[in-house]
Amino acid sequence: MMRPTRHAPTATATSRSRHATPLALALLALALTAALLAGRAPAQGVVAPLDERAALLQDEANTVAVIESYGPSVVAVHVEVLGRAIDPFERLREQLPPQFRDFFSFPQTPDVPQRREGSGSGFVVEGGWLVTNYHVVRDALLPGGVALREGAAVRVSFPEVEGRLDVRVVGANPDVDLALLALVEPERAPAVRPIPLATDAVRVGQKAIAIGNPFGLSSTVTTGIVSAIGRELPSIGRIEIPMIQTDAAINPGNSGGPLLNSRGELLGVNTAIVAGVNVGGQAGNLGIGFAVPAELLADALPGLEAGGLSGLAAAAADPERPRLGILIAPVAGFPEAVREALGLPAAGLVVTEVAPGSAAAAAGIAGPSFAAQVNGESYPAGGDVILSADGRPVPRAEDLQRIVFAKAEGDVIVLEVWRNGRTRTVEVTLMVPPAAE
């Protein structure tokens, strides 16, 4: 008897599989494909639908939310003035040596007034007012006020509204380079959210979002951080104010636009840049921009809403304002060698001139009695140095101006005065200087 071999069952199974090969292979292929797809990303050419909202990072989603909420509240400010046409060949003509200028013929520029246009940015605040920089609208205004020059116009355009809307300049404060605008036809404006002013202290490193109209490109958004705070820079009114520094890209045309935090609150009003210059001679962003802090806007708003010019620069230009009748220079502005040679105090205001018949002259305030020569330069010496006014130190001219301009004619201001190493107290009764004949 023959025993079956040990390979017989295997041979039988193999024999059966030959008849089932197509179906088995198909099932096997499907199983392998499913396993592969479950364990790896989709094959090339297969793109899964993208959920854009879910794909946004938290910071991106925040920026989008702020722009969707307050982007429509930012306007482009268009300023038109009537002036002489600019001769585009004037600089080229000046660069040529005199002996060659007669050999070149340049097209003549018509010597007639032509319309010129500039642009900036602005934004809506509570009450329906529009805020921008004073320097954006200054060229359209008559000196000493907020009335438009003949032939000048100021208009704004909203992102979601066709055309431009006329505005009037309600008030301006050159000290902080701010102006307040009102729509002539407010019913034509879209319903937008006023941008709230931040009340929390600005912190270095926090997020900053700038919206504006750089180079005429409306509704441009850039982001960055607050790079520094308290940067003392002179404003249009020549008063140094503590600016916010940011690396959010700010370019010409961003002036007057908002710098927002991650809650959409106003950190500051974009005002100035440290500009680079391209090959065409046009200023551009270097990542160092400056904004007027929102708290200064809050302080200035009552004066802006009252109308006209406000602030120290405006008060100084008002002939009806009471004055001390002196010219002053900060001690800090004198070279250290001069301060040491004259034995000046560490801080204060050197009286460089006293007007005859003025309030200061009547109170015995004295200007320099001689000029000291230090390192070949001449400096006023021997006169009074004002250390404080009404008990407050006055290291800068604007510190004294603020105290004086807050008073009325006939009010008394108490000065602490230093002269030649001795300190005394002087009471000065303020008066309006007589009109010049």
Active site residues: 135, 177, 255
**How far, in Å, CA of 97 to CA of 397, rounded?**
46
| 304 CB-near residues (< 8 Å, 6+ apart) | 129, 170, 171, 172, 173, 178, 179, 180, 310
**How far, in Å, CA of 432 to CA of 320, rounded?**
6
| 102 CB-near residues (< 8 Å, 6+ apart) | none
**What DSSP line would sit under 168-233, residue for residue?**
EEEEEETTTTEEEEEESSGGGS---PPPPBP-SPP-TT-EEEEEE-GGG-TTEEEEEEEEEEEEEE
Residue with tokens 């660069």: 95
Contact between 192 and 165 under an 8 Å Cβ cutoff? The reply is no
**How far, in Å, CA of 283 to CA of 60, rounded?**
29
Cα 129 to chain centroid, rounded = 18
| 48 CB-near residues (< 8 Å, 6+ apart) | 42
**How far, in Å, CA of 67 to CA of 52, rounded?**
17
Give just the sign of the alpha carbon dihedral 93, 94, 96, 101.
positive
Nearest Cα neighbor of 177 from 286, 313, 80 is: 313
Contact between 403 and 392 under an 8 Å Cβ cutoff? The reply is yes
